[in-house]
Structure 1
Amino acid sequence: MATISTHPPPPPPQTTPPHPHPPTSKSSNIRDKARHQNLTNPPQINNFSAKYVPFGADPDTSTESYSLDEIVYRSQSGGLLDVQHDLSALKAFPGSYWRALFDSRVGKRTWPYGSGVWSKKEWVLPDISSDDIVSAFEGNTNLFWAERFGKQFLGMNDLWVKHCGISHTGSFKDLGMTVLVSQVNRLRKMNKPVVGVGCASTGDTSAALSAYCASAGIPSIVFLPANKISIAQLVQPIANGAFVLSIDTDFDGCMKLIREVTSELPIYLANSLNSLRLEGQKTAAIEILQQFDWEVPEWVIIPGGNLGNVYAFYKGFHMCKELGLVDKIPRLVCAQAANANPLYLYYKSEWDEFKAVKANSTFASAIQIGDPVSIDRAVYALKNSNGIVEEATEEELMDAMAMADSTGMFICPHTGVALTALMKLRKSGVIGSTDRTVVVSTAHGLKFTQSKIDYHSNNIKEMACSYANPPVSVAADFGSVMDVLKKYLSKTPKY
């Protein structure tokens, strides 16, 4: 169990906000106040830095690296890149210091540290000016104690759901997009050749990208697979003014096209192939530790599609261990829909050979991906966290969503996939009844109301909809209403 030092932290490093000063005028805003504070209390000099390096390269032999101000997505060999922080500089401050610093920023409105992402700025983009940051004060999302669901369906008393979908655009993608769009904002001010930002999306990425670009006045371009996302997800980029292309293909086809386009035009690629996104997403892992007062849960279960999030959570937990905030990391579980399960098949083959699959339609539309970009990152994270991969059929994930909703939650189908994985691992005894477990919920349930309506209307072909709760039609007279209510109450458990 981690302990927090009662001694005051050492002098703050650069980018730590000084004590608040009165606003320079009644019209000053929080960004103006941040500028004024930095002018009147110049931050101490430090050497925090980060750079791109080839993912998985041996740090002792590889000399390839790039500034974060370069527009680069792949290494010279064509492999993935990773953002590497100067850990020696960060280690100059003890873990107790970082815990106290991060905790001191929670819930504040000081720019930009009120954000759950930018409250960890030194670990995210240490060099960016606060003036260049584009933030909706994302993060700081609810860690929901799933008391009734855990007890009723799993015999667990320490089950939690990290509601990352309770964010600006209703998705965890906000965490990564604030970082990426902030860096694009910086690049444009440096007169780098960036005319806009583009992404392929199954819904949530486009919502986050379009919102943050709209806030910064940066054009956004979105490639969506036609007729494969919910109306609620489609309307978000349209409402935020994105240039939306509805393309007659699936996500993998959209991804292929956006990569080709961004290699020819000065459009910045916003998909998780771009490792900047993962720097924001990793802060959700740090946030979980904060919310448990720096105690480490045994398990964290994450829905997996393009698989960047699996590595992002691993990276956040690992940085906390490496820098002395905690002394271990959780075991990770990646949960996939059975209709789009290339990682699960790879895992079941004992990592023998990865084969992309043709993703079939799934209610968990955001993870309907057959050729995930971050496969290597996810495998690395799972191997280094003694992780597990599970899958959920369509009926399993929809039942799990309905079961969760019936206990007070209102989750997305992707969270239903993660809960199915939990139920399977609990049934097999892999996860114990007292194991502290966190299920990551990636999007807001309100984006998926049609699938919920179809389920509770028993309107899904070849699905029993075992937990459906349809409305009861009744005549508009007192006797009929009383008859229906008495019948219902006779079946209601007595407490």
Structure 2
Amino acid sequence: MSRWRGIIEAYRKFLPVSDQTPVITLGEGNTPLIHAKRLARKIAPGVELHLKFEGANPTGSFKDRGMTLAISKSLEAGARAVICASTGNTSASAAAYGAQAGLAVYVLIPAGKVALGKLTQAMMHRATVIQVEGNFDQALTIVKDIAAAYKIELVNSINPNRIEGQKTAAMEVCDQLGSAPAVHVLPVGNAGNITAYWRGYTEYRAAGQIAHLPRMMGFQAAGAAPIVRGYIVEDPQTVATAIRIGNPASWKPALQAVEDSSGKIDMVTDEEILHAYRTIAAEEGVFCEPASAASVAGVIKLQQLGELKDGDTVVCTLTGHGLKDPDTAISVSSQPRTVKANRDDVARLLNF
């Protein structure tokens, strides 16, 4: 049986690489596409629902798809250091891939607004982590200025190699399903992922690999929904920290993706996100981070609005693993109960 060698080798002919590109990989990609039958019966009867669980990537999020290419191309260009702003997942991914490449990694994060699991990853990989007294959008402005002034490679999703790597997830969905879905639903924060998926689908169709294109549906958190509202949100607020972004870098291409696909970008509340978050775990045994659940909350909303048809194949991208944000999981879960160490007390608690 052949060994999976990462997305660059798997989709090389679709990526901007050559024989001279040093491939930095942790084996990203090849993530599960889970047929969510129980969840579908509960939230969207009649729909064939699949969960693309990107939390199974090496650092626990979809960011690894773009980072393998961004770091590989940075190394090819002779870079010795990379920099990024992050709500958490980008910093974890950049730190891990940068460590394997032997590059210095500098990370700016909004102070006090990054989930502990993600912050820990960047620290363990020995990135230089700087907390900014501001939000993600302010941090991104700073790193763009520093990258331009000091010739450091910027590895946020405004780096075109990030989008190129992330588009492979759409191609992988098609390979796993045998065709493109009717509808693809994603969380939207910086809007790079919905942009990347659409590019992947269109390129796969142009190559004759699929016969049709899906409708792209993106969902922002209501407290961080600049695309839906049509203006920059200066102080975005949501429990879904990974999409707590008020001025998405890929705003325009994301709008183009939904326009070209006859889709839309909408919003869901934190309450709807947390309901979906708990339901995914309880019904399908899949533990994702809160931002991921915005896609499933979106499916619930689409079903309520009558925008899904019986028989539709719908794919939801779950962007990150639940262990990224253990504090939120603990806060919304039933707490363990304590009994004495004897059988009768345990049996009584179990109602036996």
Q: Is 2:216 the counterpart of 1:322?
A: no
- What corresponds to 1:414 in structure 2? 291
- Structure-2 change in CA distance of 1:475 and 1:263 (3 Å): same
The CA deviation string for residues 162-190 of structure 1, in whole angstroms up to 9 with x for no partner, is: 011211110100000110110111111xx
Using the alignment, how far apart are the partners of 1:475 and 1:390 within structure 2?
50
2:6 aligned to which of 106, 115, 119: 115
1:406: Cα distance to partner? 0.6
- Structure-2 change in CA distance of 1:222 and 1:128 (3 Å): farther
Q: Is 2:140 the counterpart of 1:246?
A: no
Higher helix share: 2
Q: Is 2:86 the counterpart of 1:201?
A: yes
8 Å Cα contact 1:337-1:417 kept in structure 2: yes
- What corresponds to 2:35 in structure 1? 145
Using the alignment, how far apart are the partners of 1:200 and 1:377 within structure 2?
20
**CA root-mean-square deviation:** 1.6
1:298-377 alignment runs, 5 A limit: 298-346=182-230, 355-377=231-253
Using the alignment, how far apart are the partners of 2:145 and 2:264 within structure 1?
34
Gaps spanning 5+ residues in structure 2: where? none
8 Å Cα contact 1:202-1:251 kept in structure 2: yes
Using the alignment, how far apart are the partners of 2:76 and 2:331 within structure 1?
45
- What corresponds to 2:76 in structure 1? 186
Q: Is 2:275 the counterpart of 1:275?
A: no
The two structures have a TM-score, normalised by structure 1, of 0.68
8 Å Cα contact 2:47-2:309 kept in structure 1: no
The CA deviation string for residues 391-437 of structure 1, in whole angstroms up to 9 with x for no partner, is: 12111111110011111111110121111110010112101232110
1:375-414 alignment runs, 5 A limit: 375-407=251-283, 408-414=285-291
Q: Which amino acid aligns with 2:111?
A: A
Q: Is 2:331 the counterpart of 1:454?
A: yes
The two structures have a TM-score, normalised by structure 2, of 0.95
8 Å Cα contact 1:304-1:310 kept in structure 2: yes
- Structure-2 change in CA distance of 1:374 and 1:339 (3 Å): same
Give the secondary-structure state (helix, strand or coil) at the position aligned to 1:332.
strand
Using the alignment, how far apart are the partners of 2:177 and 2:8 within structure 1?
17
- What corresponds to 1:88 in structure 2? none
1:43-54 alignment runs, 5 A limit: none
Q: Percent identity?
A: 32
Q: Which amino acid aligns with 2:51?
A: V
How many residues are paired up?
Answer: 351
Using the alignment, how far apart are the partners of 1:169 and 1:482 within structure 2?
40
The CA deviation string for residues 299-355 of structure 1, in whole angstroms up to 9 with x for no partner, is: 110111110111100000000111221121100100111110011223xxxxxxxx1
The CA deviation string for residues 252-295 of structure 1, in whole angstroms up to 9 with x for no partner, is: 110111111112112111111111110000000000000012x2
Using the alignment, how far apart are the partners of 1:179 and 1:232 within structure 2?
24
Q: Which amino acid aligns with 2:39?
A: F
Higher gyration radius (CA): 1
Q: Which amino acid aligns with 1:142?
A: P
- What corresponds to 2:319 in structure 1? 442
Using the alignment, how far apart are the partners of 1:320 and 1:477 within structure 2?
60
Give the secondary-structure state (helix, strand or coil) at the position aligned to 2:66.
helix
2:20 aligned to which of 129, 147, 151: 129
- What corresponds to 1:483 in structure 2? 348
Q: Which amino acid aligns with 2:228?
A: Y
8 Å Cα contact 1:426-1:433 kept in structure 2: no
Using the alignment, how far apart are the partners of 1:133 and 1:186 within structure 2?
9
1:156: Cα distance to partner? 3.9
